[in-house]
Structure 1
Amino acid sequence: MRALGITLLGQLAFALRSGSNGKGNGALAEPEVAAKRVAVIGAGAGGSSTAYFLSQNADAAGIPVDISVFERGARVGGRCTTVNAWSDPAQPVELGASIFVDVNRILVDAAEKFDLSTASMGAPRAEGAAELGVWDGKQFLVKTSDEDGWWQKAKLLWRYGLAPIKTNSLMKSTVAKFLTMYAEPVFPWKSLNEVVHDVGLADTMAMTGLQFLTANGIGEKFAHEIIQASTRVNYAQNLKLIHGLETMVCMATSGAMSIAGGNYQIFDRMLESSSSISTHLNTSVTKISKQSDNTYNLTTSSGEISSFDDVVLATPLQFASIEIDPAPEHVPDEIPYVEMFVTLFASPHRLDPKAFNLEAGKQVPNFVLTTLPDGEDTGSDPNGVGTPGFWSISIIRTGLNPHGAPSPENIYKIFAPKPAGAKLLSHILGKYISDDEAEHGSRNGAISWIHHKTWHSYPYEYPRVTFDEISLDDGLWYTSSIESFISTMETSALAGKNVAKLIVDRWQGMADGEIVTVQSNEEWGYTGLKGQHQRPLEAEL
């Protein structure tokens, strides 16, 4: 295996060849250690976090590093991005990942370190409007309001018994297991397969959300009406499809917040935090070529070729359009992703109560989540939106239309399995919307501004207990293996932090002359690399 880093013998030879420290006194010169060169492909949460923590870890270890981040798009943040309502830069609106919560340690700490302003999530309240309602395509099964206080809690207990309390307790215990992945002795982890078992989440991952809730005594009504509404709005998946861990993640909503001006700023600041990081936007990597000395050549779309000691692929390989030659030892599986259609639009009008079978004059809740009506079962069908026809419709905030009246307009976000066209928009607003207005908006119309986006937003989170390798090959790393475990901004950032630590640990082990391999799914354990789960060298012979 190629020895990375300058050994003591190499330093001595370098100094003897130099013969002097450049000051004419004949003393041995301090050798100039070549920086480790690392390529990070993708400037989303995973790639930005990798570069950020790699720079920090290398600095702490006294290892000079040169990190190049390649992003084929024109911006940092990946699936975390904003668009400007009415094309006004002063009114950014989250298009992708909208919130994070107080247990998201990396994001919360970064927001504080970079002095980014956070705000709790909430829509402007109209008189008589509930904060949230769960719609089954026929009726609102439940409506809640923060102003109801203890009375709201009493109503929930009357309807669902102890299920809300049991769910909260189950969520906390499940999340507590996950949080052990942030610190020693679990962190850094070399294999998701191993860590899922070590922290006690294998059984949770192996069951559907419905199976997991049933096994833990959570009543069917609460699961169907509340928890499934949450899995649908967060992952566009019903309880008979999504795995148990992601189901619990959907219920961890305490302290929901966002960054004023856009969550992408966290990742932008990460990449700006160190002079050792250079970011190359609008630069696609088309080929990764492993060399005989275990370095890698990267070819960009412009034909430029650069050499690196390590490469981190921080985007799902199946969407990257990158040739890897030769094929790595471990090739990530191609897994199905949700195709999510997101529509943002602004309107001076509230949602039409008639569209939701409410009496005239009644207010539709600010956040409309959905579940399936009684008797409708889509099973494990990935296209399980059912009768409601959409996953959610929310008023995310208000804004001032610079082309219209000075009064604020509502800014809506729709998650749906197909584009929100004129028919749906006319129905929910109770106003005629032409095809052109549904596509482009009309400055002083019922829809004054509109923006459509299609995402491969997250994987279908099917139950599973095996995951793609973190180390695809010697010096070739992969952060997106975590996507099928938990898919959030925070977990992508955690995967990047984990890979960054593994890389520096590997460099240090090789510089010390240790035999180092990163464990694979086929054979857990390794020799030499500092950390837990070490095996004696004899086991390798």
Structure 2
Amino acid sequence: MAVSGWLTLVFLLNTKVILCHLVEAPPKKIAIIGAGVGGSSAAYFLRQKFGHNVGIYVYEKGAIGGRLATVTVNGQQYEIGGSVIHPLNLHMQEFVKQLGLKHRKGVPEKAAIFNGDHFVFEETDWYLQDLFKLWWRYGFGLLRLQMWVEEIMEKFMRIYKYQAHGYAFSTMEEMLQSLGGERFINLTQRSVTETLQELGITQRFIDEIVTAVTRVNYGQSASIPAFVGAVAMAGVQSGLWAVEGGNKLVCSQMLESAKAHVIHTTVTSISLQQSGDKPLYQVKYENENEGGYDFYDIIVIATPLHHETTNITFSGFTPPLTPFAGQYKHIIVSVVHGYLNSSYFGFPDPKLFPFATILTVESPKLFMLSIGSICPVNITANYRRKQPQEAAVWKVFSPKPLAKEQLKTLFRSYYSVQVTDWLAYPQYNSGKGIPPIILHDNVYYLNGVEWTASAIEMSAIAAKNIALLAYSRWNQHLDMIDQKDLVHKIKTEL
């Protein structure tokens, strides 16, 4: 081959290598609908992926933080939304570290499970004694449950390695398949009761321990899907923590770090204005004083798109976009400042009442899901939990607002009651489908992750997945999406 031919070949090869690493011009503007933990972390991760020249606009009709919220009692703030974080929630751990926040100081407490007549289980000050009591009443149910939850968590933890290497998934099913194969898919379609029964766990353990946990975490019975049940059980493990000053600080700090423009208004519609390789979308919004619209290259919807939860309409999309099937669960949170009626729980002398948290089983006698003495979001070095005979701040979860007679049942007297009605999480039914992530070319739905399991960290994981997915799809890096056998692929890369 002539010298000029070699030079041409070398030039072409080098050009091909360069083109393989080129990226498209970044989007000019990205819209995020919702400033809860999902929307806020989406802004944070999108800024990391697309750089500083992209405008990120976050629409929020309420307070930043969404369901990470607080109420004020006597000048102190108390959590009424997502209140605990697991020690293995690595995104939340990293947020706290990078944003200069702190872990809240823990305050010891004891819990019990109430059936409407008496306590079926009471925690003591001695861990080994508690284990013996659990074994005596339930056999090896606790050990089998812990092994099951830890196996699921070990496999699910692979997501952090996948995301660290830039891999994304176009559906939650693809993500679950990559993490745990068909078994993880099955866990979203079968009830936790059925799954645990196959592990040899007794019905008594399911009815008392497992149901108490699913009621306090999701307001639902052990008929919820097994994957949600595993997340619920992880939510009562040791080492749980919260953010000093309130978990909602993570959201506001992430938005500030991302240099996001927060627009406090209600989004009313999203429409496709220009199709083609790079579509353009119009977002219309309005509030009491004015309305308006703007255009965006990418949209992330980080608020539920289900009946009863959204008023956003869509136009210009083929096929049409409509709200998804399924409902969100109403949970009433009553924050009561008062004196607990310990006699209702079998302790006539309040000084002898030892429990800070009371979970419940399913019983027609019960009108509440749980009740707990809660601590403020700022805990000083000399802080101590209120004694049982003192007025304390209690958080009551219930499926319906508490009537006056019910409040009188739970409390000898009280100074104040603050009530919040949350559409807190999906009403889970085994066999319900998981909503899609990709609604259109560059329109993504974050809150569909809640139908896999609703948790603070799940929203953060979904946010990073969408940031990676949007970046790879924008730049046509399709080899970074829905890759098979990632466990072995990443081991090879390392």
What TM-score, normalized to structure 2?
Answer: 0.83
Match in the other structure for 2:7: none
Match of 2:344 in 1: 355
Amino acid aligned to 1:476: V
Aligned partner of 1:83 in structure 2 is 71
Structure 1 segments of 4+ aligned residues over 6 angstroms from their partners: none
Look up the SS of the partner of 1:365 in the other structure.
coil
| CA deviation after TM superposition for structure 1 residue 69, in Å | 0.4
Q: Match for 1:259 among 243, 255, 259?
A: 243
Amino acid paired to 2:69: T
Which letter maps to 2:91? Answer: I
The answer to whether the 8 Å contact 1:341/1:455 transfers is yes
Cα displacement string for residues 501-532 of structure 1 (whole angstroms, at most 9, x for unaligned residues):
111112222xxxx7xxxxxxxxxxxxx45344
CA shift, 1:174, in A, is 1.2
Q: Which residue of 2 aligns with 1:502?
A: 469
Between the aligned residues of both structures, percent identity stands at 28
| Whole-angstrom distance in 1 between the partners of 2:176 and 2:257 | 32
Whether the 8 Å CA contact 1:352–1:364 is kept in 2: the answer is: no
Aligned match for 1:460, one of 427, 432, 440: 427
In structure 1, the residue matched to 2:123 is 144
Q: Report the counterpart of residue 300 of structure 1 in structure 2.
A: 285
| 1:465-501 Cα distance to aligned partner (Å, 9 max, x none) | 7321101011111001111101011111111111111
C-alpha distance in 2 between matches for 1:85 and 1:140: 30
Q: Once the 2 structures are TM-superposed, how far is the Cα of residue 307 of structure 1 from its aligned partner?
A: 0.8
Alignment counterpart, residue 533 of structure 1, candidates 465, 483, 491: 483
Counterpart CA distance in 1 for 2:358 and 2:312 is: 40
Partners of 1:34 and 1:466 in 2: CA distance: 33
Aligned residue for 1:13?
none
Contact 1:342/1:413 (CA < 8 Å) preserved in 2? Answer: yes
2:304 alignment counterpart: 316
CA distance in 2, matches of 1:53, 1:338: 29
Q: Does 2:61 align with 1:72?
A: yes
Relative distance call for 1:298 and 1:231 in structure 2 (3 A) is same
* Superposed CA offset, 1:419-451 (max 9, x none): 12321111122x3xxxxxxxxxxxxxx322321
**Bigger Cα displacement from structure 2, 186-195 vs 484-493:** 186-195
Equivalent pair of 1:229/1:370 in contact (CA under 8 Å): yes
Conserved in 1, the CA contact under 8 Å of 2:273 and 2:282? yes
Amino acid at match of 1:204: L
1:368 corresponds, among 355, 358, 362, to 358
Measure, in 2, the Cα distance between the counterparts of 1:288 and 1:180: 35
Residue identity opposite 1:256 in structure 2: L
Q: Which has the higher helix share?
A: 2
- Cα deviation, residue 167, structure 1: 0.8
Q: 8 Å contact 1:234–1:250 — kept in the other structure?
A: yes
Match of 1:249 in 2: 231
Measured at CA, do residues 271 and 398 of structure 1 come closer, stay the same or move farther in structure 2, by a change above 3 Å?
Answer: closer
SS at match of 2:104: strand
Q: Could you tell me which residue of structure 1 aligns to residue 170 of structure 2? A: 190
Would you say 1:95 and 2:80 are equivalent positions? Answer: yes
| Whole-angstrom CA distance in 2 between matches of 1:469 and 1:399 | 36
Distance 1:297 1:372 in 2: 48
The more displaced of 351-360 and 172-181 is 351-360
Task: Indicate how the Cα distance of structure 1 residues 343 and 133 shifts in structure 2: closer, same or farther if over 3 A, else same.
Answer: same
1:474 aligns with 2:441: yes
Aligned-partner SS, 1:447: strand
Q: Flag the 1:465–1:337 CA change in 2: closer, same or farther, 3 A.
A: closer
Once the two structures are TM-superposed, the CA of residue 328 in structure 1 deviates from its matched residue by: 5.4
Q: Relative to 1, partners in 2 of residues 1:332 and 1:195: Cα closer, same or farther, differing over 3 Å?
A: farther
**Match status 1:162 vs 2:132:** no
Give per-residue Cα distances to partners, 1:447-466, cap 9 Å, x unaligned. 22321110100001222373
Instruction: Provide the C-alpha distance between the structure 2 equivalents of 1:476 and 1:230, rounded to a whole number of angstroms.
Output: 36
Aligned partner letter, 1:297: Q
**Superposition pairs for residues 52-63 of structure 1, below 5 Å?**
52-59=44-51
Could you tell me which residue of structure 2 aligns to residue 227 of structure 1? Answer: 210
SS at match of 1:298: strand
Q: CA RMSD in A?
A: 2.4
**Corresponding residue number in structure 1 for 2:37:** 45
C-alpha distance 332-398 of structure 1, shift in aligned 2 (>3 A): closer
Task: Give CA-to-partner distance per residue, 1:221-245, whole Å, 9 cap, x none.
Answer: 2222111100000001111x21111
Q: Which of 101, 114, 118 is 2:103 aligned to?
A: 118
Paired amino acid for 2:397: F
In 1, distance between residues paired with 2:434 and 2:91? 23
Any stretches of 5+ residues in structure 2 without a counterpart?
1-23, 379-385, 485-494
Whole-angstrom CA distance in 1 between matches of 2:441 and 2:481: 18
CA–CA distance in structure 1, aligned partners of residues 133 and 45 of structure 2: 47
TM-score normalised by L of structure 1:
0.76
| Native 8 Å contact 1:506 1:529 kept in 2 | no
Do the aligned partners of residues 248 and 33 (structure 1) sit closer, same or farther apart at CA in structure 2, a change above 3 Å counting? Answer: closer
For 2:391, the equivalent position in structure 1 comes to 409
Q: Measure the CA separation in 2 of the matches of 1:76 and 1:115.
A: 18
Q: Secondary structure at the match of 2:418?
A: strand
Greater C-alpha radius of gyration? 1
- Matches of 1:447 and 1:472, distance apart in 2: 49
Shift of 1:177: 2.4
Number of aligned positions between the proteins:
435
Q: Which amino acid aligns with 1:242?
A: I
Partner of 1:255, secondary structure, is: coil
In the alignment, the residues of structure 1 paired with residue 435 and residue 26 of structure 2 have an alpha-carbon distance, to the nearest angstrom, of 32
**Structure 2 counterpart of 1:273:** 257
Contact 2:60–2:266 (CA<8 Å) still a contact in 1?
Answer: yes
Classify 1:322/1:494 alpha carbon distance in 2 versus 1 (closer, same or farther; 3 Å): same
Distance of 1:358 and 1:412 partners within structure 2: 17
Partner Cα distance (1:303, 1:192) in 2: 35
Q: How far did residue 332 of structure 1 move?
A: 4.9
Q: Which runs of 5+ in 1 are unaligned?
A: 1-31, 126-130, 374-385, 401-405, 432-445, 515-527, 535-541
How much has 1:331 moved relative to structure 2? 4.1
Q: CA deviation at 1:54?
A: 0.3
Partner residue in 2 for 1:176: 154
Q: Which amino acid aligns with 2:88?
A: V
**CA 1:213–1:366 in structure 2 vs 1: closer, same or farther (change >3 Å)?**
same
Asked if structure 2 preserves the Cα contact closer than 8 Å seen for 1:398 and 1:409, the reply is no
- Note the C-alpha offset of 1:209: 1.1
Q: 1:260 is paired with a residue of what secondary structure?
A: coil
